[in-house]
Amino acid sequence: MPTTIDLEGLGFDNGGHLLVNRALAGLEPGDRLVVRGRHPALGVHLAAWCRAEGHRLDPEAASPTIVRGRADRDRWRGAQRAGRTAADVVPHASREWGLAARGALVEPGGPALSVDWVDRDLVWADIAPQLYAQATANQWDPATAVDWTAAGSVPDDVEDAVVQVMTFLVENEQAALMIPARLLSRLHPHYREVMQLLAAQAADEARHMEIFTRRGLMHRDRLGLSGAGGRASLQTLLEEPDFTLASFLLSVLGEGSFLDLLHFLHRHAPDQVTADVTRLAARDEARHVAFGVAHTAHVVRTDPGFLHRLRTAVERRHAALADTAGLNKQVFDSLVVLAAGSWEPAAIARGWQDVLRLQQAMDSGRRRRLEYIGFPDDEAAALSALHTRNFM
């Protein structure tokens, strides 16, 4: 006995195919389904739908009767799941999955993704989902998170120093935006937590560029000087093609030192707006550093020999920048002025020592992070000493 379904007045132009599909799902190829209904175009709809779906109508049957085909089942032959569940992060993601959601059953034959990183251990850190949750919870609006009316009165010489430092911060953040944006476009979306985190990182850097530019132009109509050596240092970060090496150079070494600089600027801020923009940026940068450290440590745990590649990357960058001037002299002097707070000789001496202590703190922080990743303390000290004089 064939299975029978009654569509009553429902046609295929308003959902009748859903009921037919549901009835066919329980049948085997060759089984028959009698379709009854009162819709005036039911026969025409059935004929067209069966042709499209790979079934056929029995021309000898008294009532419209579908003979179940197998095209729709063959369509899914060889299908595989992109992970057992949406939470299953597999060690290797197939490019043939394309943009399929994690855990979905993937129909064969779709276009393959042109991405570089398809192996979990090349991009992963267990802390990534937690950091992404923090990033989404801690988003802030530059227009409202800073009281832009609280700048107060800042002496002209000190304001000049602020403008120069803000100019330096903007160009560093521009590099820090371009790198995660470039990395995430080459990453398989199966590792979506990392992709989402990199996207949030790029959004963070976009906000930082905005607030540093806005603070720099608060009392001036133009920004400060951009040194060629500093730009050369940042350019080497943009040119690093490897995911882990780029993350290591940017976040473990560069943004880690940059975070110390932001804390320094917050302590010596001459006005509330400068204090606020550096505080907000530092909160974001701490997440970036945390992922860079956790990811690099993850890679080294899975492949201890990767330490050699990290070491080589630092040495290669140092050699490439050996003939550059490094940190813009005007930036260094501006940091001294901000730390001094006045032009009294004793104050300048204190400011100078504060900047030297900043550099020592940067070195100590880099050494701690390098040791956490897996370098012996003597190697960590040597590699930290090779880090670019441009801080980032």
What is the pLDDT at residue 150? 85
Per-residue pLDDT, averaged over 161-187, amounts to 97
Please give the structure tokens belonging to residue 91.
């060690």
DSSP result, 221-233: SS-----HHHHHH
| Tens of pLDDT, residues 269-312 | 999 999 999 999 999 999 999 999 999 999 999 999 999 999 99
User: Which pLDDT score, from 0 to 100, does residue 72 have?
Assistant: 81
The mean pLDDT of 323-344, rounded to a whole number, is 91
**Given pLDDT bands bounded at 50, 70 and 90, which one contains residue 326?**
confident
d(CA 295, CA 268): 32
* CB of 149 closer than 8 Å to CB of 208: no
Question: Is the CB of residue 380 less than 8 Å from the CB of residue 371?
Answer: yes
Q: Strand, coil or helix: what is 220?
A: coil
pLDDT exceeds 90 at position 16: yes
The pLDDT of residue 210: 98
The interaxial angle of helices 156-184 and 192-216, nearest 10 deg, is 160
Q: Which residue has the higher pLDDT, 322 or 286?
A: 286
d(CA 126, CA 120): 11
Residue 328: pLDDT band (50, 70, 90) is confident
pLDDT in tens, 100-158: 999 999 999 899 999 999 999 999 999 999 999 999 999 999 999 999 998 778 999 99
Task: Provide DSSP, 253-317.
Answer: IIIHHHHHHHHHHHHT-SSHHHHHHHHHHHHHHHHHHHHHHHHHHHHHHH-TTHHHHHHHHHHHH
- 52-80 average pLDDT score: 90
- Structural domains in the chain, CATH included, are 3-73 (3.30.110.40), 78-114 (no CATH), 120-385 (1.10.620.20)
Residues 6+ apart with CB under 8 A from 206: 177
If you average pLDDT over residues 22-33, what whole number do you get? 93
pLDDT value of residue 77: 85
Interior/surface letters 81-106, b for 16+ CB within 10 angstroms, e for the rest: ebbeeeeebbeebbeebeebebeeeb
Among candidate residues 204, 374, 169, 387, the one with its CA nearest the CA of residue 288: 204
* pLDDT (0 to 100) of residue 66: 95
pLDDT class for 325, splitting at 50, 70, 90? confident
The average pLDDT across 359-379 equals 98
- As beta bridge partners, residue 67 has 32, 56
Average of per-residue pLDDT values in the chain: 95
Contact 45, 16 (CB under 8 A): yes
Residue keyed to tokens 């110390």:
260
pLDDT at 318: 94
pLDDT band at 203 (very low <50, low <70, confident <90, very high): very high
Q: Taking 80 as the threshold, does the pLDDT of residue 1 lie above it? A: no
Does the pLDDT value for residue 23 go beyond 80? yes
Phi, psi of 31 (to 5 degrees): -70, 160
Evaluate if residue 386 carries a pLDDT over 80.
yes
Q: Which of 157, 163, 206 is nearest to 181 (CA)?
A: 206
Distance of alpha carbon 29 from alpha carbon 289, whole angstroms:
57
Residues present in the chain in total: 392
215-265 confidence digits (pLDDT tens): 999 999 999 999 999 999 999 999 999 999 999 999 999 999 999 999 999
- How high is the pLDDT of residue 198? 98
**Is the pLDDT reported for residue 191 higher than 80?**
yes
